Structure 1
Amino acid sequence: MAAKKPSTTNKTTQPAEATVAATDNATETVDMTGGDTTSADTSPRTAEAKSRFNAAIAEAKAGAAALGDEAKVRAGQYRDEAKHKREDWSGEARNKAGELAVEGKHKASEALSGLSRMIDENAPTLDEKLGAKYGDYARNASRNLQENARILDEKSLDELADGSREAIRKSPATAVGIAALVGFMFARLFR
């Protein structure tokens, strides 16, 4: 009996492919399982198209980088301009506030002097109607107001601010009471 030769069949693990159509740029192949794949043809036209495409991408990247750099430079310039303008405006505002504070200090001094004169002018009337004791109180108050007006006029804003801070530290309750009284007087005055 002759020994049977085992039959050899082609059992490969890779699917077989069949060429469906071929063009100048690519060959389309279909595998036997139903999927299709595209493999690039290395013709001169394909290589030229790829190089042009890559050059266009490189040029676009360079353009985007240049725009980004220009945007950073302009942003820095705008930031510097804004900083200088802010400093200018801040300096102008500080100067204007200083001018207004000096003007306000002068007006307050004038108001105290005017109030002092008014009280001093009415002191004789108080002497007649209420007695000399009340007239003396009015004259004393008038002198104190005149002295405070003189001090207010002579001192600088920094000295006044320091003096106010010190007075508030020494007697916060008195400072709150005076602020409430001044607020009430302004409310009545501008009503």
Structure 2
Amino acid sequence: MSDATTTKKTATKPKKSTSKKASSKKVPAATTETVDNRAEAKSRFNAALDEAKAGAAALRAEAGERAGAYRAQAKTKSGDLMTEAKNYGNEAKTKAGELAVEGKTKVSDGLSSLGKVVGDTATDIDGRFGEQYGDYARKASRSLQEASAKLDAKSVDEIGEDAREFVRKSPGTAVGIAAIFGFVLARMFSGSRRG
């Protein structure tokens, strides 16, 4: 019986094949082609990547050159504009100085004329209201004439400094005078529009 059991065991075990055909695997031709295609695609991709990098570097260099050119143009234009602005500023200062001198002359002439008119009417005031009021008119006339002479003697810069000093010493009075002057100007211009 022992022989029968041994035979049975050997019959159930599958036999291992020792042939080389079964153990060696052949790579099909389609797989070799796929590997070759992948290598070619990878090499083309790397070439395209290198080309894109070179193009980006060229664009960066061109952008740098253009930015430098634009910067140079902007500096030149800025310098030109600054020079123009300085020229306009100097012209404006000159014109403002001329207008200030002209205005000072007109104010001085106006004060002088007003002083003469008040002085000329002093005799009429004496006759109508009395000598006391005529004397007031003569004093006012002299004050106006003196103010006109002082104004003529001073330069525009000196007048400006005197005005600043007056405002520093008595700002309340300066604000009051400015308000009255503004009111008078507003009335003059609103009256000229109506007429």
Matched, 1:27 2:53: no
Greater RCO, 1 or 2 (C-alpha within 8 Å, sep 6+): 2
Q: CA RMSD in A?
A: 3.1
Three-state SS of the structure 2 residue aligned to 1:121 is helix
Listed as ranges, the matches of 1:33-44 within 5 Å are 40-41=42-43
In structure 1, the gaps of 5 or more residues are 2-17, 29-37
Alpha-carbon deviation of 1:169? 1.9
Deviation string for 1:111-156 (max 9, x for gaps)?
1011111101110000000000100100000000010011111101
Runs of 4+ in 1 over 4 A off after TM superposition: 18-24, 49-54
Listed as ranges, the matches of 1:37-186 within 5 Å are 40-41=42-43, 47=47, 52-186=51-185
Residue identity opposite 2:90 in structure 1: G
After alignment, is 175-184 or 101-110 more displaced? 175-184
- Count, aligned residues: 164
- TM-score w.r.t. the length of structure 2 is 0.72
In structure 2, the gaps of 5 or more residues are 1-8, 10-29
Q: Pick the structure with greater CA Rg.
A: 2
Give the structure 1 partner of residue 20 of structure 2: none
Identity %: 41
Alpha-carbon deviation of 1:187? 3.1
Report which of the two has the higher share of helix. 2
Three-state SS of the structure 2 residue aligned to 1:27 is helix
Residue identity opposite 2:134 in structure 1: G
